[in-house]
Structure 1
Amino acid sequence: MKVVLLSTRRLPPSYFDTVRADLGGRDDLALDVVAWVPPAGPVDGLVNSFTLIGPGKMPVEAAPVVQAVPVVDAEEVPVAVAESAKAPAPEAVVDESAAESTATEADEVAEATAAAEGALADDAAAGGESGGTTDGEASAPSAVAPAEVAGGDEAAPAAPKPAPKPRPTGAKRVVKAAQWRARKLRRAGGKMLPTAIKKSGPVKKLTQNRKADNLAKTYWDRVLGRADVMTRIEQADVVIALDGGSVWAGWQVGQRKPQTPVVLGVPAARRELDRLVGAGQE
């Protein structure tokens, strides 16, 4: 027996076990769910299929993280570890050749420094005698004009501005203007109403009915636009509308398939299943 559940509310995974029990707990019972919102938890193995036609994503059961533990064989001893254990500490090793080379390098640096100082003194004496040139002129760095520095770097081009969205024209402009005025009047009317009227029972009921009506029509449009969902409904033995938001879709299905029972609620579906089973046995 194939049963299709139409729902616009969030259903917990345990609900499907309750539905199976209320429908008689048959082993050949296959549940196909067409829902507007995802379930409250993973439903793998609880239903035959769960088709989400509204906003949101299906919940996925997180897999447990298993950390791999390396297995060490006591009989196998790494050679590198054994050799490092036998080697002496680095502080105990003294390299005599390294010490000699360090001392030789220090002597060479001292000799080079003394030679450089003597050469600088000779140059200073020769410059004082000649007096023709000054060190400032020779060592002064060439000045660079700020204009040259600024002109060397090219200015980055400015990013182009996005093209403006084309405005509606003709009849579309009139429709947009009417919708804008209607929204403005609705908001203004809501602000002008006293709080006591807004929270009154009749006003709340009207608001809920309007929202439910919009959801019911949107839900049916999504169902009608999905070929896979319509195929499951055509193959179903019973179609159950579980809430007020799915009643409109159930009524539309009943008009399209008069031979398929479309009911509201699980108890009515149980009666239809018993009738079908009894008719099949006869």
Structure 2
Amino acid sequence: MSNVVLLSTRKLPPTYFDQVREDLGDQDITIDVVGWVAPSAWVADKVNSFTLIGPGRMPAAPVVEEEVAEVESAAPVAEEPAPKPAPAPAAPAAPPKPKPTGAKRVVKAVEWRARKAKKVAGRMLPKAIKTSAPVKFLRGQRATSDLGKTYWERVLSRRDVLSTIDQADVVIALDAGAIWAGWNLGQRKASTPVVLGLPAARRELDMMKAPSA
């Protein structure tokens, strides 16, 4: 049996792990996941472990129909609701604020013009430039870089995660946000293959199974 650890910063559905087993060509593998984002649904029956190191919480286990029926049968009968009290009279509206006069009026006018100038300056950049592919790419690269560093720092701070990784036969970075963590893990333990994507992991597992010459 092979142990694989998946590094991920994206939301993964439960069916994805069935695809992992198929792509790796081995149904008899142990899958441990180190995720920045919780999966889209309960995955305890799909993986050996899923360690969430980012914000949010893991999905709850699905409720079995029999359990729902037991809860409903045990639920107490609802009592007749008491009449609602009459609503309290509304509070009188606050008097309008006095308009600024004299020097205060001049200050308010200057502030208003400054805000208006700022908005106009922001609209001067053509929308075509704001939404152009190079600008989007640069923003995406920066966001990915920041996430990658944060993800790696969280991995490095968790002993349970490092212990799980130390037991892996192959570590797989699934997306761009996990590449930085994968590269650093490869530097820490050269004896364990750390790869990007499932095809590369499949090649490593196939070489492990191949008989030595």
Please report the TM-score for the alignment, with normalisation by the length of structure 1.
Answer: 0.55
Offset, 1:45 = 1.5
- 1:262 corresponding residue in structure 2: 194
Q: Which position in structure 2 is the counterpart of 1:58?
A: 58
User: Which residue in 2 is equivalent to 1:242?
Assistant: 174
SS at match of 1:248: helix
Instruction: State the AA in 1 paired with 2:3.
Output: K
Instruction: Summarize deviations over 1:1-30 as a string: whole Å, max 9, x none.
Output: 110000000000000011011112242x10
Give the secondary-structure state (helix, strand or coil) at the position aligned to 1:258.
coil
Residue type of the partner of 1:66? A
Q: 1:188: how far off?
A: 10
Q: How many residues were matched structurally?
A: 164
Q: 1:35 corresponds to which residue?
A: 35
* Deviation string, structure 1 residues 117-167 (Cα, Å, up to 9, x no partner): xxxxxxxxxxxxxxxxxxxxxxxxxxxxxxxxxxxxxxxxxxxxxxxxxxx
Going from structure 1 to structure 2, the CA distance change for 1:197 and 1:261 (only over 3 Å counts) comes to: same
Q: Which AA in structure 2 matches 1:14?
A: T
Q: Distance between the aligned counterparts of 1:192 and 1:31, measured in 2?
A: 51
State how far apart, in whole Å, the 1-side matches of 2:7 and 2:43 are: 16
Q: CA deviation at 1:216?
A: 0.5
- Which has the larger helix fraction? 1
SS in 2 for 1:270: helix
Greater Rg over alpha carbons, structure? 1
Work out the CA distance in 1 between the residues paired with 2:122 and 2:152.
29
The change in CA–CA distance for 1:239 and 1:191 in structure 2 (over 3 A counts) is: farther
State, as a whole percentage, how many aligned pairs show the same letter.
Answer: 59
Question: What is the distance in 2 between the residues matched to 1:220 and 1:267?
Answer: 23
TM normalised by structure 2 equals: 0.72
Q: Which runs of 5+ in 2 are unaligned?
A: 75-118
Question: Match for residue 19 of structure 1?
Answer: 20
What SS class does the counterpart of residue 191 from structure 2 fall into?
coil
Q: Provide Cα deviations, 1:178-234, integer angstroms capped at 9, x if missing partner.
A: xxxxxxxxx998665322211111111000000000000000010001000011111
**What is residue 252 of structure 1 aligned with on the other side?**
184
C-alpha spacing 1:190/1:12, structure 2 compared with 1 (3 Å) = farther
Structure 2 CA distance, aligned partners of 1:232 and 1:191?
51
Q: Secondary structure at the match of 1:66?
A: helix
Question: What is the alpha-carbon distance in structure 2 between the residues aligned to residue 196 and residue 11 of structure 1?
Answer: 33
* Mapping for residues 101-116 of structure 1, pairs under 5 Å: none
- Aligned-CA RMSD value: 2.2
Q: Deviations over 1:235-263 (max 9, x none)?
A: 11100000000001000000111111011
1:37-89 Cα offsets, whole Å, 9 max, x none, are 0001100111000000001110012423114769xxxxxxxxxxxxxxxxxxx
Look up the SS of the partner of 2:153 in the other structure: helix
- Confirm or deny: 8 A CA contact 2:5 2:33 kept in the other structure: yes
- Provide the secondary structure at the position in 1 that maps to 2:151: helix
* Equivalent-residue separation in structure 1 for 2:120 and 2:162 (angstroms): 42
Give the Cα separation in 2 of the matches to 1:235 and 1:34.
13
Task: Decide whether aligned partners of structure 1 residues 59 and 276 sit closer, same or farther in structure 2, where only a CA change above 3 A counts.
Answer: same
SS class of match (1:25): coil
Seen in structure 2, the aligned counterparts of structure 1 residues 190 and 207 have a Cα distance that, compared at 3 Å, is farther
Task: Give distance in 1, aligned partners of 2:141 and 2:132.
Answer: 14
Q: Distance in 2 between matches of 1:189 and 1:233?
A: 50
Say if 2:142 is the partner of 1:210. Answer: yes
- Counterpart amino acid of residue 52 in structure 2: L
Alignment check: 8 A CA contact 2:42 2:62 kept: no
Match for residue 95 of structure 2?
A: none
Cα–Cα, structure 1 residues 62 and 255, in superposed 2: closer, same or farther, change >3 Å? same
Question: How do 1:91-240 and structure 2 match up within 5 A?
Answer: 193-240=125-172
